[in-house]
Structure 1
Amino acid sequence: MAIFESARHCIPTYLYSVSPKKSLILEEMASPPSANGAESKSFIVPAPSEPAKIEMFSPAFYAASAFGGGLSTGPTHTAVTPFDLVKCNMQIDPAKYKSISSGFGVLLKEQGVRGFFRGWVPTLLGYSAQGACKYGFYEFFKKYYSDIAGPEYAAKYKTLIYLAGSASAEVIADVALCPMEAVKVRVQTQPGFARGLSDGFPKFVKSEGALGLYKGLVPLWGRQIPYTMMKFASFETIVEMLYKHAIPTPKDQCSKTLQLGVSFAGGYVAGVFCALVSHPADNLVSFLNNAKGATVGDAVKNLGVWGLFTRGLPLRIVMIGTLTAAQWGLYDGFKVFVGLPTTGGIAPAAPAPAPAPTTSELAEA
């Protein structure tokens, strides 16, 4: 949990406050008692170390979800930049990057160790923005669509709620990601084009125009929307099944460590499914952002249908499985840190309504 403790200093201050005792001191310093002696009310959200202090589905809840999404997505994508580099080059130049092992060898020989992290800045910025939109808007749309459906239909068709909520969130998230993804692919697959974001971004705009940054948006939607729908719906389903069939203790009675372990395991399995459904579109995105003026037809003709589905797939399964597991672990770890419940699982049963008072009790009252 050390990573969450260090991240605490980066969290927007409106998400939490200091301990209750310190909060009281600060309130007394900031606002003197009223003339009639009544106590002044605090508008500060209590500290994240005290559970359940952020109201569910409040603006602070969605802000925390967005912050946790950015925190979990940007750094994890940056950490697997070497795998992403080899994968992208295998997709663009299979004659040179014939396999995973030889791909790493070619990259090391030509670019050195530093070459393994080429494009890490646009990766970090792009996927941090995407993760913030993806997780924050997913929580919003999941609640929004559940309210539209009503309690009965929301429970009955919960998988459809997950699919609709994640798809809606990803449409927005990809608009935030697309410019950085375009620059990242060009930097990673064209040695000598640019050192990174600072010189790569203006070169890309000069070459392709500002609208060129969004040339790959439709293929990106084609890759990311199915990916995210699978990521969230399968994760929610897998986690629910684990709590229902594999863990004898109800979720709300499990330790936080166990709950985070379930999130990590569910995330890895979900990541494998994500890689399978989104891989053809991933090949398209890499091809279009690498070749100036290229079209989807050019990509299909060059890669072939079989290559579209299989080129770079084993490496992407390993990369996306690990990536998705780490993201869910970090995201739910952050939620635990700020006092929110982990994602997914069987919700605790609603309390039974209080029995109606008897005639004698009403008479006594």
Structure 2
Amino acid sequence: MASEDAMSKTTGESAVSTIVNLAEEAKLASEGVKAPSHALLSICKSLIAGGVAGGVSRSAVAPLERLKILLQVQNPHSIKYNGTIQGLKYIWRTEGIRGMFKGNGTNCARIVPNSAVKFFSYEQASNGILWLHRRQSGNEEAQLTPLLRLGAGACAGIIAMSATYPMDMVRGRLTVQTENSPRQYRGIFHALSTVFREEGPRALYRGWLPSVIGVIPYVGLNFAVYESLKDWLIQTKPFGLAENSELSVTTRLACGAAAGTVGQTVAYPLDVIRRRMQMVGWKDASSVLTADGKSKAPLEYTGMVDAFRKTVRHEGFGALYKGLVPNSVKVVPSIAIAFVTYEVVKDVLGVEMRISD
């Protein structure tokens, strides 16, 4: 009997052990199935949040965005736009409400995927850099420094810029053209196909180098300043701005505004050069028409350095900052709205991780 009891006990324990093992294996298998699905859903939500943030922020400042480009590329011998207020009034008087938002559809078609890729790339790059930082330092509690955030932001900016650059190129041309321009692009895809056919595939990436060089300090500083400023406010809690380790929407908007101001001031000359290089080869651009409507031969640039040299020689150093005022007025709310919209949409969609985490 004792032997039978022992065998029965052993058999029972074996059965229980087998059932437990099977249950654990089933649980692991279930988690294995759910994990990729959950990860994919989280990625989609993050991309949606970034896209919405880009579309909302850019549409809010579309008139200023168009004026900035017009100021950057206008012919110095035929000045039409003398400043922010005068420029906006001139566009309103000559082109109406549609003129204020000309090119915004193309702009949003570019900025939505650009913003989605940028925010998502920043999250992934910051996670990867933080992992390497903790391994190298041997400190599992180490956090991202402002310099590391700058690196993560630079990586995100380069990836997003490269992925959507042809859209930015044709957006610039659609924004500049007027009813008096002999060449009329009918839309995004018509512009893309026309440039590709008449100027070659390389034309779609004309000005890419100064764009990439400019995006490193621009996007890098945007993320670094925004995240570092938020961390500082949460840790020090000056003037009671941070309550329970949370910042109000107004305070986060202020952080975004500061980040945008710093980033665009440093990178702005490269943005001017990029825009001018994009116009090379487009002899029907409105910026190369004189006041009487006659065509004036535009400057040709052999590269980024040549564009810098010719711009400064023919128009002075100040030409590198043409359109800075409307761009500053545009960037302050645009970057602020983008950061805050991104975090709010992620909260609404139920994404656990914010860019600060």
TM-score clears 0.5: yes
Unaligned residue ranges in structure 2 (runs of 5+): 1-25, 282-299
Aligned partners of 2:116, 2:176: CA distance in 1, in Å?
27
Shift of 1:230: 0.5
Aligned partners of 2:88, 2:193: CA distance in 1, in Å?
29
Which residue does the alignment assign to 1:194? 185
Mean Cα displacement is larger for which, 76-85 or 270-279? Answer: 76-85
Which residue does the alignment assign to 1:84? 65
Please give the TM-score of this superposition, normalised by the length of structure 1.
0.72
| Among 339, 342, 350, the residue aligned to 1:331 | 342
SS of the counterpart of 1:155? coil
Q: Is the 8 A contact 1:69 1:134 kept in 2?
A: yes
SS of the counterpart of 1:97? coil
Which residue does the alignment assign to 1:225? 216
Change beyond 3 A, Cα 1:44–1:242: same
Mean Cα displacement is larger for which, 145-154 or 286-295? Answer: 145-154
> What do you get for the CA RMSD once the two structures are aligned?
3.0
Shift of 1:111: 2.1
Which residue does the alignment assign to 1:169? 156
Q: Is the 8 A contact 2:72 2:272 kept in 1?
A: yes
Which residue does the alignment assign to 1:117? 101
Change beyond 3 A, Cα 1:300–1:223: same
Shift of 1:262: 3.1
Which residue does the alignment assign to 2:202? 211
| Runs of 4+ off more than 6 Å | 38-45, 248-252
Which residue does the alignment assign to 1:322? 333
Which residue does the alignment assign to 2:119? 135
Change beyond 3 A, Cα 1:199–1:272: same
Q: Deviations over 1:290-336 (max 9, x none)?
A: 23253431354235562244221121111111100000110010122
Which residue does the alignment assign to 2:233? 242
Aligned partners of 2:151, 2:191: CA distance in 1, in Å?
36
Which residue does the alignment assign to 1:361? none
Alignment of 1:142-161 (within 5 A): 142-150=126-134, 152=139, 155=142, 158-161=145-148
Q: Is the 8 A contact 2:273 2:320 kept in 1?
A: no
Alignment of 1:294-333 (within 5 A): 294=301, 295-296=303-304, 297-303=306-312, 304=315, 306-333=317-344
One-letter amino acid of the structure 1 residue matched with residue 321 of structure 2? T
Change beyond 3 A, Cα 1:279–1:250: closer
Which residue does the alignment assign to 2:290? none
One-letter amino acid of the structure 2 residue matched with residue 264 of structure 1? L
Alignment of 1:338-349 (within 5 A): 338-339=349-350, 340=352, 342-344=354-356
Mean Cα displacement is larger for which, 177-186 or 199-208? Answer: 199-208
Which residue does the alignment assign to 1:3? none
Unaligned residue ranges in structure 1 (runs of 5+): 1-37, 46-53, 348-365
Change beyond 3 A, Cα 1:279–1:147: same
Please give the TM-score of this superposition, normalised by the length of structure 2.
0.74
Shift of 1:200: 2.3
| Among 245, 265, 280, the residue aligned to 2:269 | 280
One-letter amino acid of the structure 2 residue matched with residue 183 of structure 1? V
Shift of 1:196: 2.9
Higher relative contact order (CA 8 A, sep 6+): 2
Change beyond 3 A, Cα 1:250–1:187: closer
Change beyond 3 A, Cα 1:271–1:153: farther
Aligned partners of 2:205, 2:70: CA distance in 1, in Å?
21
